[in-house]
Structure 1
Amino acid sequence: MAPFSVARRLVAEALGAALLLAVVVGSGIMGERLAGGNVAIALLGNTLATGAALVVLIWVFGPISGAHFNPAVTLVAALRRDMPWRLALAYPVVQIVGGVLGVWAAHAMFGEAILQVSTKLRGGGAQAFSEAVATFGLVGAILGTVRFRPEATAMAVGLYITSAYWFTASTSFANPAVTIARSLSDTFAGVAPSSAPAFILAQIVGALLAAGVFGWLLKVDKS
């Protein structure tokens, strides 16, 4: 990562998270409005927009901040000593703030009430397990591509999230900041605040498991 100042890194994380959530929530609203009640079509639109945006956002902000946009990814980076803990503690704050601002921007663009609380329950063990699996795979994709093909990380993350929208029961939030921000949108992409704690716990567990498994898997044996 280039030697950008702490202030620039924090702004990059906040701005990236804001744009990501604007895409997630905005494309969900657009998809639902255009799909005529067909949830599969609405989800497809939401999926493609999110995956594409992730690729671009990581390309743009990666050289500045690492383009985490995700407290779980930041936690793994800190545990691996890829970034100092002082910075790692600041990243989640700006990621969450940026995410909430992005949700509000999406509401404003579509003429929705700015301040909302989601009523969309996503409860149950299957949903939480899905978030653990989704986050495990996301962190694995990041660690694997950073190790072997760092230039492909943005594409790998975008493609993985695109697929995980469809193979997980929870539609792959895989991000505590995204979960918190989406709890403040009573739209297609929302999640009820009562469902958020289980999601966040599962995401952290999935990230820690991935850090352990891939940390071992990718370690070069000394001859």
Structure 2
Amino acid sequence: MTVLMRRAGAEFAGTAFLVMAIVGSGVMASRLSPDDVGLQLLQNSLATGAALVALIVALQPVSASFNPVVTLADRALGMIDSRAALALIAAQFLGGLAGTVLANLMFDVGPVTFSSHERTGAGLWVGEVMATVGLLLIVFGTVRSGRADRVAFAVGGYITAAYWFTSSTSFANPAVTVARTITDTFAGIAPASAPGFILAQLLGGAAGFVLVRLLYPTLVPATATAAAEAAIRKVPS
């Protein structure tokens, strides 16, 4: 198996399990707490954030973007070539759809049930722009400052928080957005609402890329960061 095939497989599996966590925990939350939307969102956000941490820790040695916007930023930064980017993005979209179908089947709601949950309006689109800008800042700020071993915890924490501080509940991922159109459950989004979200995510990705290049123009090796932290710890307080 080639390296690219392994990376695409990791992206497929990771995105599938991420979407299963989003959709499945949304269904479970709506059943366990049917009269409390705030509690449903809390349960959904905690499950999603925890799953992200676990999936990134496990799959990061192979590939762990799970997001076309992050993969496009990798390409723009010269970290991967166009062929790899296309393969990884295709795997992410397919993995997301597979994850939704499996979550639907687990909870007996039908393998494909198009969502009727409309999410539209300027406020939600601004929320998606800001959620995606923040996500790119967290991912690449952590990686480019030489702390790639901490990116799982940074991303998991950010997404958990962004569920609450963004009006859109932070989809911030085109593959996940498309996948959530085929579940008429708590986490779903109506197919007609998806293009607006995806456009906002791409705009946020472009803005996030510019911000990352401004703040982190060069990649700091992890060894250099470790040496700097060790030196700081030796300074008498």
- TM-score of the superposed pair, with normalisation by structure 2: 0.89
Letter in 1 for 2:37: V
Whole-Å separation in 2 of the counterparts to 1:97 and 1:89: 12
Residue 32 (1) aligns with residue 30 (2): yes
Whole-Å separation in 2 of the counterparts to 1:56 and 1:125: 33
- Matched with 1:79 is 76
> What displacement does 1:115 show?
1.3
Whole-Å separation in 1 of the counterparts to 2:91 and 2:196: 22
Whole-Å separation in 2 of the counterparts to 1:36 and 1:76: 39
- Matched with 1:167 is 165
Letter in 2 for 1:121: E
- Matched with 1:133 is 130
Letter in 2 for 1:163: A
- Matched with 2:221 is none
Whole-Å separation in 1 of the counterparts to 2:144 and 2:89: 24
Whole-Å separation in 1 of the counterparts to 2:46 and 2:211: 29
Identity %: 47
Residue 142 (1) aligns with residue 120 (2): no
Letter in 2 for 1:103: T
- Matched with 2:65 is 68
Match of 1:44 among 37, 42, 45: 42
- Matched with 1:5 is 3
Residue 120 (1) aligns with residue 122 (2): no
Q: What secondary structure, in the 3-state scheme, does the structure 2 residue paired with 1:64 have?
A: coil
Letter in 1 for 2:206: L
> What displacement does 1:36 show?
2.7
> What displacement does 1:212 show?
0.7
> What displacement does 1:159 show?
0.3
Whole-Å separation in 2 of the counterparts to 1:89 and 1:95: 10
Any unmatched runs of 5+ in structure 1?
Answer: none
Whole-Å separation in 2 of the counterparts to 1:53 and 1:36: 23
Structure 1 outlier segments of 4+, above 4 Å: none
- TM-score of the superposed pair, with normalisation by structure 1: 0.95
Whole-Å separation in 2 of the counterparts to 1:214 and 1:96: 25
> What displacement does 1:5 show?
1.1
1:140-194 CA deviation, whole Å, 9 max, x = no partner?
A: 0011110222111000000000000000011000000000000111000000011
Letter in 2 for 1:92: I
Match of 2:89 among 83, 86, 92: 92
Whole-Å separation in 2 of the counterparts to 1:47 and 1:98: 20
Any unmatched runs of 5+ in structure 2?
Answer: 219-237
> What displacement does 1:112 show?
1.2
